[in-house]
Amino acid sequence: MKINPNYQHKLILFCGPSGSGKTTIVHHLLKKFPMMRFSVSATTRPKRENETDGIDYHFLSPEEFRAKIANNEFLEWEEVYKDRYYGSLKSEVDRILNEGNIALFDIDVVGGLNIRKNYGRQLLDVFVMPPSVDELHKRLVARATEDEESLRKRLDKAEEEMHAAFQFNHVIVNIDLQKAIQEAEDKVLAFLEEEFPEPDEAE
Ligand code: 5GP
């Protein structure tokens, strides 16, 4: 794999509705690119059976999450609905970049657009689009991780998020997962090879 050694201080953002396939794509990229590290978000949602605290998320109580907000520990955070928080921790990103690795985010659209404001060309932003809301519905039902109410909220949020796709520099429509993964890999590789000015040379 030919990658410009100047990849340091780069960040990659994958956004898109829940069920769009972005998490699968992100997991694939983490295996493929050894210098990539997942920015583990904090959340107050309950842990799913297949998840591990500290690996998939830092699972916190709403009180713990609010204490971190008060302490200015987040790069961005959101309260999606009452007491259901998600946020990207500054400490995660600082650690990853200081170790000379690439930070990879899997977050929602609002969070993604907020993060993007803080970075210029050092960040690659990709929106993963499901083929349709119907297909998204089918995928979420098949995944069977959500109850009726959470499913409905996710679908409402997904419809809203799909309108934001045009705000991203890169969009991948996930019709065929293997093709979407390949497209993601190509975009990442091109981005990692790209030279960009050192922070103090940038205008
Ligand atoms: P899930 O509950 O399915 O893991 O995630 C629900 C949504 O929250 C997904 O779209 C996921 O990408 C997003 N999310 C995960 N971590 C963060 C974060 O740190 N900040 C924001 N804004 N959204 C997040």
The domain of 48 spans: 7-193
Position 124 in a domain: yes
Res 201: pLDDT: 52
Strands (E), 51-169: 58-59, 74-81, 84-89, 102-107, 123-129
Closest residue by CA, ligand 1 atom 7: 108
- CA–CA dist 198, 106 (Å, integer): 26
* pLDDT tens readout for residues 150-193: 888 888 888 888 899 999 999 999 999 999 999 999 999 999 98
| Residue ranges around ligand 1 (CB below 6 Å) | 18, 41, 45, 76, 78, 86-88, 106-108, 110-111
* Residue numbers in the chain where pLDDT is lower than 50: 2-5, 202-203
Position 46 in a domain: yes
The number of beta carbons lying within 10 Å of the beta carbon of residue 1 is 8
SS3 call for 137: helix
SS3 call for 26: helix
Res 203: pLDDT: 46
Which of 26, 41, 65 has most ligand 1 atoms within 8 Å of its beta carbon, as the pocket-test mutant? 41
Tell me the CB-side half-sphere exposure of residue 147, using CA atoms within 13 A: 2
Position 84 in a domain: yes
Which of 26, 40, 43, 160 has most ligand 1 atoms within 8 Å of its beta carbon, as the pocket-test mutant? 43
Tally the domains of the chain: 1
Res 198: pLDDT: 56
Q: In this structure, what CATH number is given to the domain that contains residue 169?
A: 3.40.50.300
Position 198 in a domain: no
Res 197: pLDDT: 56
Position 173 in a domain: yes
Given a contact cutoff of 8 angstroms between Cβ atoms, the answer to whether 128 and 14 are in contact is yes
Position 203 in a domain: no
Closest residue by CA, ligand 1 atom 15: 107
Position 1 in a domain: no
Among the atoms of ligand 1, which is closest to the Cα of residue 87? 19
pTM: 0.87
Position 202 in a domain: no
Cα separations in angstroms, 163 against 102, 118, 151, 157, 180: 28, 22, 19, 10, 20
Among the atoms of ligand 1, which is closest to the Cα of residue 110? 22
Given a contact cutoff of 8 angstroms between Cβ atoms, the answer to whether 13 and 124 are in contact is yes
